[in-house]
Chain A
């Protein structure tokens, strides 16, 4: 009705727009990246970051923030490179336990009305400590199947691209299209109204935290599939990256406004920005700076769109 200048549409297209601009820039400066190998190098770490971003997005859906996701991904990587390879049964049991711990965190935060920032910050110490216990020095070895999946030579474009698209669509279906996903998002938008309609906020929060734990696990396993060995500190950066990615992808901090597809795009944008700079042999010093800059520019664009809407 309102045509292309519809602010909501513009907001939704903003992440894809930023990614496209960045890609055009990259292809223009370095045409060689427009190849299977080039894309593979650029997007190397996109998948684990995308999973971590989706985990963060789940927590943000219910108006919380997870400052421990980076350490958690590191812990999963350590478990993946040890137990999961050597004694898969125990490894799987540990990871299932992790999902349980995440659900428990959701319950604790809801029941005691605790600030998620402090609780998850505390948990980040715990995950890091556990990771060091599992793997005191960098090492271990990824399970062969994880390695095989992550290095799968797919036709046309690298595996990462297929996987990202598949994951984005799957989570989009789960949270944006399914009937229960609606309730989960509603709990972020107007918790009281959802409660008055007879839903349990406790269960919703536990579900979203458990889902976050699940994506954290996928992130960790994808990560060791790429790096082959693990290290407790391997993913500490992911905490901040995942928040940035989710926001970049059109997620909002409160109000249950999320976008799984946007989050995956946001994570990919951040990865590209980082790896492109190192690709150009520009000092990696500027990586995080570029990521921060992109975040601020996109947020500023969003303010502009919102202003337009207000008129």
Chain B
């Protein structure tokens, strides 16, 4: 029922880029009064960026935003979102750990002040907690930093629903149940239904499809920064939703490597149990294999890789192997922004070039040059700053760093984020070549078709391995079902 007088907020052609990455490429979205809207999509589909734009904490590059069918708001920001009665529960914790529950409530509600504000803030948050999560057991005077993560999330959600004078029109919940157990999650979903029946609106983002299917009235599916499907919830079921999310991924031809499965023999060179509890599945890595780690992002894959690399896990099999890591989050984990491309490449190998205590520049340059050609880094000069490269070429430099080292095992942390398709194909080829020469790879990827290059796949969910597939057994359905609940 598209009744246009009932719109709370409307987005028209909203685009947002971070450097070369297009997080949102033209989103039209309308949120109506009294509806619960579900948003699903793979990692990097643009959901979180969209939420930040609605919350006003990010500004769109182009496109317009209008409130209640009024004229588009110029420079829509935090103040405008607040005035429109829009509250957001972000994925990452947005509470101040050094403050109490009541004090955090006050931060969100500037109206709570003056004499006796503390007891009013306490009453506000406790009433809301009681309403949403009966039996929560949280004290208003508890410090947030002392609360377990689930209770923090409960406080944060309840805080978003407190409101003093501005009417609360829209509450955006980004993965609100990620650290809640089933019972508490159900309490929240029940409240969301009640809230929307009473005329409020809600946006729910969740990787738990059942939550979306049972709670919302309408679902949009996002992919590559665009809305690719939109239906009333009644016209989706679990399978059609999974299909809508996955079907868009283009399958490329796999060529000659498909179908061949390496037989696992002898001893694994590494075996790791991600959460170190007895009885859980163990990941085994055999020499010369490409092992894929799958699952939704943030489910323990990166942590497992980093721990393997920093030798924090008691790894079975052989003792310490020479390893290298290719970071996926380039800016945070990989790039040295003040250095040249060459230095960025040679950092993992510079110990090799030491002559009389000094790093030999010629050898260093040779290494970088040879990899520049091998992996095709597009730059006139390796002496240029690393930031002069495009994202994809920066990533190639990180690949060159790892592959150019003497490491026998290479760990890759979803390294193809924001890399163009041509580069990807080149790198895939290179990986196969290197593996054929005996190198071992552990490859965490969020892209389905990349898993097809792996000999063995482990699917992660909530820090555990929940599925163990050989290449022959691999299907997209299996991975999706394992990644979402109850695989």
Q: Do A and B bind each other?
A: yes
Question: Which A residues are closer than 8 A to B by beta carbons?
Answer: 8, 177, 179-180, 182-183, 185-186, 188-190, 192-199, 255-257
Are B110's CB and A189's CB within 8 A?
no
Interface window among B95-103, B277-285, B287-295: B95-103
Closest A residue, CB atoms, query B102: A182
CA distance A3 to B94 in the complex (A): 29
Closest B residue to A2 using CB positions = B146
CA distance A194 to B79 in the complex (A): 13
A and B contact pairs by CB, cutoff 8 A, 30 listed: A177-B118, A179-B106, A179-B113, A180-B113, A183-B106, A185-B98, A185-B99, A186-B96, A186-B98, A186-B104, A186-B107, A189-B98, A189-B99, A190-B94, A190-B96, A193-B93, A193-B94, A193-B95, A193-B96, A194-B107, A195-B78, A196-B55, A197-B107, A197-B110, A198-B79, A199-B107, A199-B110, A255-B98, A256-B96, A257-B98
- Complex A-B, nearest 8 residue pairs according to Cβ-Cβ distance, in ascending order: A189-B96, A189-B98, A179-B113, A193-B94, A186-B96, A190-B96, A182-B103, A256-B98
Contacting pair A182 B98 (CB below 8 A)? no
User: With A179-B117, A196-B57 in contact, is A190–B97 under 8 Å at CB?
Assistant: yes
- Let me know if B82 is at the binding interface, CB within 8 A: yes
Instruction: With both chains docked as a complex, state the minimum distance between the C-beta of A288 and any C-beta of chain B, in angstroms.
Output: 31
Task: Find chain A residues with CB under 8 A from B113 CB.
Answer: 179-180
Q: Which residues of B contact A188 (CB under 8 A)?
A: 98
A256 and B146 CA atoms in complex are apart in Å by: 15
B96 x A198 contact (CB < 8 A): no
> Which residues does chain B contribute within 8 Å of A195, judged by CB atoms?
78
* A249 smallest CB distance to B (angstroms): 15
A56 to chain B, nearest CB (A): 18
**Complex interface: chain A residues within 8 A of B79 (CB):** 198
B114 within 8 A of partner (CB): yes
- Which residues on the B side are within 8 Å of A198 (C-beta)? 78-79, 82, 110
A-B contact count (CB 8 A): 65
Q: How far is the CA of A188 from the CA of B96 in the complex (A)?
A: 8
Q: Is B323 an interface residue (CB 8 A)?
A: no
Using CB atoms, name the residue of chain A closest to B137: A1
Known interface pairs A8-B146, A198-B78, A198-B82; A183-B98 also in contact (CB < 8 Å):
no
Give the B interface residue count (CB, 8 A). Answer: 27
Query: A165 to nearest B CB, angstroms?
Result: 22
Complex Cα spacing A197 to B94, Å: 9
B108 contacts partner chain A, Cβ-Cβ < 8 Å: yes
Give Cα A193 to B118, complex, Å: 20
Q: How far is the CA of A180 from the CA of B110 in the complex (A)?
A: 9
Asked if B146 contacts A194 (CB within 8 A), the reply is no
Contacts of B88 in A (CB 8 A): 196
How far, in whole Å, are A183 and B96 apart by their CA atoms in the complex? 10
Q: How far is the CB of A8 from chain B (nearest CB, A)?
A: 6
Docked complex Cα distance between A179 and B110 (Å): 9
Interface residues of B in 143-162 (CB under 8 A from A): 143, 146
B320 → chain A, closest Cβ, in Å? 27
Contacts of B348 in A (CB 8 A): none
Q: Quick check: is B242 within 8 A (CB to CB) of the other chain? A: no
Least CB distance from A268 to B in Å reads 24
C-alpha spacing A182/B55, complex, angstroms: 23
A196 to B90, CA, bound (A): 10
In the assembled complex, B40 has its CB within 8 A of some CB on chain A: no
B112 at the interface (CB under 8 A from A): yes
User: Cβ of A186 and Cβ of B99 under 8 Å apart?
Assistant: yes
CB nearest neighbor in A for B143: A8
Residues of A within 8 A of B55 (CB): 196
Query: Which listed residue (A177, A186, A196) contacts B78, Cβ 8 A?
Result: A196
CB distance from B111 to the nearest CB of A (A): 10
